[in-house]
Each structure stands twice: as C-alpha cells, then as structure tokens.
Amino acid sequence: MSESPNSFEMRGIVKRFPGVFANDHVDFSCKVGEVHALLGENGAGKSTLMNVLAGLYRPEAGELVIGGKQVTLHSPQDAIANGVGMIHQHFMLVPSHSVAENMVLGLNKPRFFLNLSQVEEQVAALAKQYDLNVNPRAKIWELSVGEQQRVEVLKMLFRGAKILIMDEPTAVLTPQEVEALFRTLREMTSQGHSIVFISHKLDEVVAIADRVTVLRKGKITASGVSAKGSTKAQLARLMVGREILFQIEKKKMEPGKIILETKNLQADNDRALPALRGVSMQLRAGEILGVAGVAGNGQRELAEVLTGLRNSTGGEMIFDQVALGPHTNWREIGQRLAHIPEDRSAVGSVPGLSVAENSILKCFNLTPIAKGWSIDAAAMQKKAVKLVDEYQIATASIQTPVRMLSGGNLQKLILAREISGGPSLMIAVHPTRGLDVGATEAVHKLLIKQRESGAAIMLISEDLDELLSLSDRLAVMYEGKIVGEMPAEGADIQRIGLMMAGTKVEA
C-alpha cells in the first residue's frame, strides 16, 4: 500500500471565514486505492477542506495536485473533470426522475438526444461491477435511503470519478446497508479508486479506513496515521483534545409507574398518508426507551403526535393517567412534557432571538417569568444566566442571538430549557445528530441524569450504538408500527438490523 502513488495531494490549504480559520495550512493527501478517513469535531474544518477539493470553495492559499498535475478548480464541474466527486450528506437527486436520468443530469453531453437506454445499460454494467444493486429505470422516490446512496455512488462512477468524497455516508443506513456500502468501497479501492471518508463514528472509521487524518480547529492533529493501529480512544482524544468516555455509566434503576402509554395510536404524515399504523407501548418512570428504525418509518410522526405538534387519527395516548387529545392544553403540560425536537434550529429554537429569550420559550406565560401581561426581564435574565452556568453553554452573552451558537451549545440550551421545567416525560429525537464527540457526551450525560431523577425518556435515534448504550429497552419501528421490543442489554445488533429493514424475526 505504501508504495502506491498519491491520487491527490492538498498542501498548505488556507481558507478563512469571518472570525475563524476554517483551514489553517492544512496538508492532506490520499493514495491510489486507499480509504482515508477524515475526522474532526463540528467546525473543525473537514467539510471546508473537502469543499475545496470538490471545487466548491477556492482556497486563499495552498496548492492542489491531482494525479500529479497542479490544478486550480473553479467549480464542481472542474473537480469532476479532474476525477473528484463528492457525495453530500443530503443527496443531490431529482426524486421524480429515474436513476438513469439522474446520471445524465448536469452533464453537457449528449447535447441534443438523450439515449437513455444506452445510459441504462452503462449504469447496469457499473452496478454489476461494483455490487451496487439498483434498477436503472426506478424513480428515485421509489428507492430507500440506502438505495439512493448507491445511486449517488453510481452517479460519481458514471461521471468518471476516481476520487470519491463521502460526507457521513453511514448516518442514515441500517447495519446491513453499512456492510454493503463497505463491501462496495473495498471493491472500488481494489479497482484503483481513492475514497475520503468523513465520519463521526469511530468504530466505522477503524473498520473501513486504511489511514486517518484528524483535524481540530482548522489544524491537523494527526496526519495519515494507520487506522489499524489506532484505538477509538486515541482518535477521540486527537479530535477533542481530551479523554472521552465511551462507556456511559448507568445506574441500575427499577422502573417506576407508567408515565406514558399508547394504545393503537395512529396518525398521518405530511402527505396525508398513514404514518403511524397502531403504535402500542408503555414507558415507565426512570426508564429510557430507545426507538430504533430507518428514517421515515413513523418515528418523527410519533414524536410529533406525543408532543401535540400533529393530530392523531386514532387510538389513545395516556400521559400521567390523563388522556391526551384535541382538548389538551399543550402549552400547559409543556413543562412536564419535554421535547428535544429533531431539528434544533428550525423547530427547537428561535434563531434571531437571544439566548435569554430562547430560554423562556416554553414558560414565558408562567410565573416567575410572567408578570401580569408583561415579561419580567430580570427573572428571564436570571433564568438564562442559571442555565448557561449550570449547563456550561458557551455563548458570548445571554443577549447573543442563538443563531450564533454552535450546534452543540444550541442543543445544550434546548436541553437545559426543557429540563428546567422538571419534566416527567422527555421525548428526545436524534438528540446528538450532527454533534461532535464532546457535545454528544454532554447530551448523553444529561439524558442519563434525567433518567436517574425519575423521568421517563423516549429516545428516538438512528444511531444504534447510542441507543444500545443509553436505553433500558429498545423498540424497533417499521412502517408505522413497533415490530419488536427487547431489553437493550445483550440485544443482538444483527437482529435489530433485520427488524429495521422489515424482515420478520421470531421473538
């Protein structure tokens, strides 16, 4: 491996954004036939560096050598012409078009006539070669997330990419799909492709990568170390600059009374199609119920129905011995029913308002914040200062608009606000998505602390490691139903994966 030539080399890359050095003289290279993992916390500059390589950003200084040639990339088209393709976290596909049509989208040939059947043949051949099983005639919307990712990979191969950048490719996949993806990646490297693999999941990095480079605050902290010889703990320390606990200490707790119970709960999704098809479950005090499942199987709708953001179309839900329904005053029970929404900035906070104003989002009409018709500014500030201190939220001041906060600090603020109400039930949806290792650890600790103080917690997540380490019980959702429940301790990850994919598994 070591005698392979470099497929690309970035040297002394400098890219600044207002107030930050996103990349501070970064060197990064990848050999032909290698998977090189790029690690780092959020804001460490990984995406910036890769956007430079993919032609989206122009560096302020530094040079880029691809295939031995000095190049200047002006656009993603330039990058693809040089054999560099990037697969973003959010897929760039047209849902109403077929796989083959998506392949030719944005290409300037053929100019006038689209010979789709020829494209389809080429795609099928490529798919066969790399074990990427997709029907070229299928429409994108018909495909699962895993299949759509394969289309993205195919698209890059079809366009002749020799260097493939993958930004957190496994975040949305089942364990089986992850394995399939890794098989494809190995096939690609054996054919001389190079892959840059960006991930937060250290297990996967150790499993797939040949070498690892770690970025912290725009600078390299480890350059091209061998992945085989590294441990998770070492990599994490390089990323955040301190030790990270992977094993979460969890006290043994005897579950208390039933806090939340649903019976045959049903609801529609945004397209008015059934999303929940009869969810029945119980959640007890001092217990974390992990809800696993591939995105789009009703988890979001379940959280929304339980928090009053969506109306149920049938069934029952009982919270603290009181039935919830259209008559419920959600604002009133909002203090006891905490909700960590999936989307921190679009749902959980008001970006233009200050930290202080966001800290009272759910209690602005309650004492001590409310005073007659007005808001007691002193009480609001006191509360904000307390939350910022207690939860170590890094902010310039409590008057700073929350859009200035990093994802981790924003999430801590939301958690702090929700916990400050003294909830007996907490619904947390993807609470650590997109957070770096350090912030993830903080959020996990807070959830565990809530459990120990006797709250019932529903943890909806796509991260199986997170679910297994935090939950007491696991429920797997598939097509709007809970298809399996099991104690988290000693749960079989293969079996969970099969359930997530809809395969019937005997209990």
Residues interacting with other proteins, by CB under 8 A? 3, 5-6, 9, 11-12, 17-19, 59-63, 65, 67-70, 72, 307-309, 329-331, 334, 339, 341, 346-353, 357, 360-362, 364-365, 370, 373-375, 377, 404
The CA-CA-CA angle for residues 280, 283, 285, to 5°, reads: 165
* Least CB distance to other proteins at residue 186 (A): 23
CA distances (Å), origin 212, targets 141, 225, 409: 35, 5, 27
Helix (H) or strand (E) run with residue 418 in it = helix 407-420
Q: How far is the CB of 59 from other proteins (least distance, A)?
A: 7
> Shortest gap between Cβ of 54 and other proteins (angstroms)?
18
**Paired sense of beta strands 312-319 and 258-268, if any:** antiparallel
Instruction: Return the structure tokens found at 356.
Output: 């202080």
Nearer to other proteins, 169 or 308 (CB): 308
The least CB distance from residue 359 to other proteins, in Å, is: 12
Between residues 7 and 149, which has the closer beta carbon with respect to other proteins?
7
Minimal distance in Å, beta carbon 81 to other proteins? 18
Q: For residues 352 and 487, which CB has a smaller minimum distance to other proteins in the complex?
A: 352
Closest separation in Å from C-beta 237 to other proteins: 30
Q: CB neighbours of 423 closer than 8 A, spacing ≥ 6? A: 335, 336, 337, 338, 450, 455
* Residue 242 or 371 with smaller CB distance to other proteins: 371
Helices (H), 173-253: 175-190, 202-208, 232-240
Q: Kindly tell me which of 284 and 430 has the beta carbon lying closer to other proteins.
A: 430
Q: Which is nearer to other proteins, 135 or 328 (CB)?
A: 328
User: To the nearest whole angstrom, how small is the minimum distance from the Cβ of residue 465 to other proteins?
Assistant: 28
CA torsion through residues 54, 232, 340, 265, sign:
positive
Judged by beta carbon, residue 364 or residue 391, the one nearer other proteins is: 364
Q: What is the dihedral of CA 439, 207, 87, 291, to 10 degrees?
A: -50
Copy the structure tokens of residue 354.
């200050």
Which amino acid appears at position 143 of this protein?
Answer: L
Pairwise CA distance, residues 337 & 78, whole Å: 51
d(CA 138, CA 102): 11
Sequence length of the chain is: 507
